Structure 1
Amino acid sequence: MIVVHVEDYFDPTAGYQINELLFAGKDYGDEVYLITSNDMSPFHKDHSIEADKEFEIKTGVKIIRLEVYFKISSRIILKGLLETINKLNPQLVYMHGIGDFKDIILLRPKRKYIIVRDCHMSWIASQNKFRKIYYTFFRKIFAPIINKTDKYNKIFALGDEEYQYLTNLGISSRKIDYLRHGYNESIMYYDESARIKLRREYGFEETDIVISYIGKFNNSKRPDIVFDIVDNIDEEFVDKKNIRLLFIGPKENKYMEDIFIFKLNKMKEQIEVTIDSSKPFSELRKYYSASDICIFPKETSLSSIHAQVCGCPVIMEKHQSNLERIINSENLFEVDKLNQASEILQRVIKRKEYLKCNNNTTLFKDREYKNQVVKLKKIL
């Protein structure tokens, strides 16, 4: 079977749903292509031909990068997209995301191949000033075509908030199915040998409690809030428990200069802070394994599942998407209630909930991505 994935932006070293699906699908004998753009601006890096080739070798997927014909905000039109798909003659085309220029295909005759789409958008990420106009436009133009035809076979919601988002766009529930965020058990697991090696390299003692943020450094994710959460805790407690901070990920320069570095310089006077660059997704289990607790202070993050699979309790804001992704819901704090987050952190430490032997990850078993690939193949 020939399968084509279409994703507007793609970083071969990242750990998004598209990356994990492609990794999980490599053992099923399909001929798989990924069509994407040459625009890497969302990842704050340049395109690497070497990284693409390495991903192709590991997964057997052929990456095809097209030029951006038109771009407004983050939505783009890929030059020659439909012609490229037609040449590949696929049976299944998975267009990731919805509510973008790819929906124009609904206004054209039905294609010979099956098309599925998915939705990554939740209410927390959709509160812009033009949303009401956009919802009305989509309900009137595209939703009726989706509901009355089979031009889109299925639209997958990656969570409950995404499901709500789709229904509010006017899409019938019979066209929606779940393909929840998950993980690949061959990539994400607790790695004890990596924990020992990395903690030695970073200079952490085994008795240190390492609190990590692993992700993007920008105004949306706000890793600097980790400093505020720790700063609310009594200094004597921090010293007694040997608390250390570890930050890993790609950095947006303006955010670093305007916010993060100021707080970093202040915090370094009180506690040991280690800052490192972004790491390939396939290596991240080592850093989660080396960590004891992970904090994702704003919005939602797929990394929360990966951290927990590697044995780290996570602390996050209380959103529906996070409720779906957390083992212990007591570790969620009300939005902007940083004192509550600090109390949660102290409780996790006092009760030794951070010990790897105290973390049960079986809750996520049904989210393993090989199960997702099997579900996709059943469409045919």
Structure 2
Amino acid sequence: MRIIHLIDYFQPKLGYQETYLALAHLRLGHHVTVITSDRHYPFSDYASAFQKILGERKKKPGKFKEYGLDTLRLAAIEMPFTPVIFLRNLKTALAHLNPDMVFCHGIFSVVSFQAALYKEQFSYKLFYDSHAADFNTDFENSLLKKFYYLLYIKLMAPVIKKAADRLFAVGEAEKKFLLRFLKIPNYRVEILRVGIDPVFLKAKKEKRMEIRRKLGISPDEFAIIYTGKIAPGKDLPVLLRAVKLLEGLPVKILIIGGGNVHYIEKLKKQYPFREKVIWTGFITNKMLTKYYSAADTAIWPGNPSVAVLEAMAAGLPVIISRWFGTRYLNKNKTVLSFPRGNHIKLANLIKILSINSQFRQKLGIKAQLFIKNELSWDKIAKQAII
């Protein structure tokens, strides 16, 4: 089958669903092409956090092999200071590639509208997925967003809803958001969970001491890892306050990721115990597996992240805040959880894990088995097919 993965911005070095789902479809024997724009996502901190990994944001249009995937980058028109983008010559590309199926990553975009417009002419099956939820998407916080949403609902949404053969949401919160904003019946939206790159299942324990020496973490210290965006919704102050309560324990926090520079500096000033916190900035997924192997547990105190699943795949015990969208992770008690914002409860869980290595190991094995059995990309790719 000829499958196109269509997305506004494609940056495979950062991982993400669009990369691994496309690779899984390729492994299943399909002919896969990624069509995207000639630039990376306009992160607000692109220059400070992402450029050293991704290079210049603007790329050359053309055909490339990226992460093992045939990738067609099209010249694009981008609305300044927004991620709203229009792909030039998309119709021509679709005519040339003649796909049986187009999997559109994202539904609230101009590109998703373009895919719907051309469907009837080229007779492909059209699937959409959505990662938008209340915790990461707000159409009301600026006049520009309000205008775009009004335009989307009046002009684009009716065309997309009619053209879509299947609509996917990556979780319960995302499904709830999609149902509310598109005003569609519950049966139309299926859950297609985010899977995990198999590389995380192969975290090399022999790299543990090497990375710990590099970071200045001694063998007797209990290392906590957090990875992802550093933003207010991630509740890092809750983790930092919890660790502050554990002054008698040899604990270190490894924070991997980036965000607003001013916000990060504010956190460093508010929680100045430098000897306990290591800030690394963003690193590639290839390096991330080594850093997981150096940790003893992984914690996400606020909004969820796909990194939770990566840590589970690496065999780490995981602590998250309680939220209805991650209840499925409690299957077979594969994670520990605490009431969001309660740093005292979090501190107690950290203490339990730090002094009970057998419990840590048992939890890590359960977590890894859950990922292998339930969230492999090959299994998910078979669901996302005609």
TM category (shorter chain) comes to 0.7 to 0.9
Cα-to-partner distance string for 1:321-373 (whole Å, 9 max, x where unaligned): 23234564873233322223223322332444673354212223221101122
Secondary structure in structure 1 of the residue aligned to 2:234: coil
Q: Deviations 1:144-172 (Å, cap 9, x if unpaired)?
A: 5555x4x2111111111222222222223
Q: What letter corresponds to residue 230 of structure 2 in structure 1?
A: F
- TM value normalised by structure 1: 0.83
Q: Which residue in 1 is equivalent to 2:205?
A: 192
Relative to structure 1, the CA distance from residue 186 to residue 211 in structure 2 (aligned partners, 3 Å threshold; closer, same or farther) is closer
Shift of 1:15: 2.4
Q: Judge conservation of contact 1:314–1:326 (CA < 8 Å) in 2.
A: no
Distance in 2 (alpha carbons) for counterparts of 1:64 and 1:143: 25
Which residue of the partner structure matches residue 8 of structure 1? 8
- Residue 224 of structure 1 and its aligned partner are, at CA, apart by 4.7
Aligned match of 1:114 in 112, 125, 136? 125
Counterpart-to-counterpart distance in 2, 1:323 and 1:143: 30
Q: In the superposition, relative to structure 1, how do residues 276 and 372 fare at CA in structure 2: closer, same or farther (>3 Å)?
A: same
In structure 2, the gaps of 5 or more residues are none
CA separation in 2, counterparts of 1:357 and 1:370?
26
Structure 2 match to 1:253: 261
Q: How far apart are 1:304 and its partner, in Å?
A: 0.3
2:96 counterpart SS class: helix
Cα distance in structure 2, aligned partners of 1:128 and 1:60:
33
Tell me the amino acid that sits aligned with residue 106 of structure 2.
G
Q: Which residue of 2 aligns with 1:95?
A: 104
* 1:69–1:79 CA contact under 8 A, matched in 2: no
Q: Does 1:289 align with 2:293?
A: yes
Secondary structure of the structure 2 residue equivalent to 1:3: strand
Contact persistence 1:146–1:171 (CA under 8 A): no
Q: How far apart are residue 208 of structure 1 and its match?
A: 1.7
Q: TM-score, normalized by length of structure 2?
A: 0.82
Does 2:50 align with 1:40? no
Q: 1:63 to 1:104 in 2, by over 3 A?
A: closer
Aligned sequence identity (%):
22
Cα distance in 2 between the residues matched to 1:192 and 1:10: 31
CA distance in 2, matches of 1:285, 1:62: 26
State the secondary structure of the residue aligned to 1:188.
helix
Q: How far, CA to CA, are the matches of 2:154 and 2:346 in structure 1? A: 43
Aligned pairs for 1:162-177 (under 5 A) are 162-168=174-180, 169-177=182-190
2:173 counterpart residue number = 161
AA of the residue aligned to 1:10? F
Single out whichever of 348-357 and 271-280 deviates more from structure 2. 348-357
Distance 1:354 1:174, change over 3 A: same
* Matched AA of 1:24: A
Letter in 2 for 1:153: D
SS at match of 2:73: strand
Cα offsets for 1:80-115 (capped at 9, x unmatched):
333333332222111111122234344667242221
Partner of 1:373: 381
Instruction: Choose 285-294 or 339-348, whichever is displaced more.
Output: 339-348
Q: Aligned partners of 2:66, 2:35: CA distance in 1, in Å?
A: 16
Give the number of equivalent residue pairs. Answer: 365
For the residues of structure 2 that align with 1:224 and 1:61, how far apart are their CA atoms? 42
Q: CA deviation at 1:302?
A: 0.6
CA contact (8 A) 1:246 1:274 kept: yes
Q: Give the match's secondary structure for 1:261.
A: helix
Equivalent residue letter for 1:367: L
| Greater mean alpha carbon deviation, residues 124-133 or residues 179-188 | 124-133
Task: State the shift of 1:299 in Å.
Answer: 0.9
* Equivalent in the alignment of 1:209: 222
Deviation, 1:290, is 1.3
**How many Å separate the matches in 1 of 2:66 and 2:138?**
40
Q: What CA RMSD, in Å, does the superposition of the two structures yield over aligned residues? A: 3.3
Offset at 1:12? 1.9
Which of the numbers 318, 322, 343 marks the counterpart of 1:318?
322
- Find out whether 1:363 has 2:370 as its counterpart: yes
Displacement after TM superposition at 1:65 (Å): 4.7
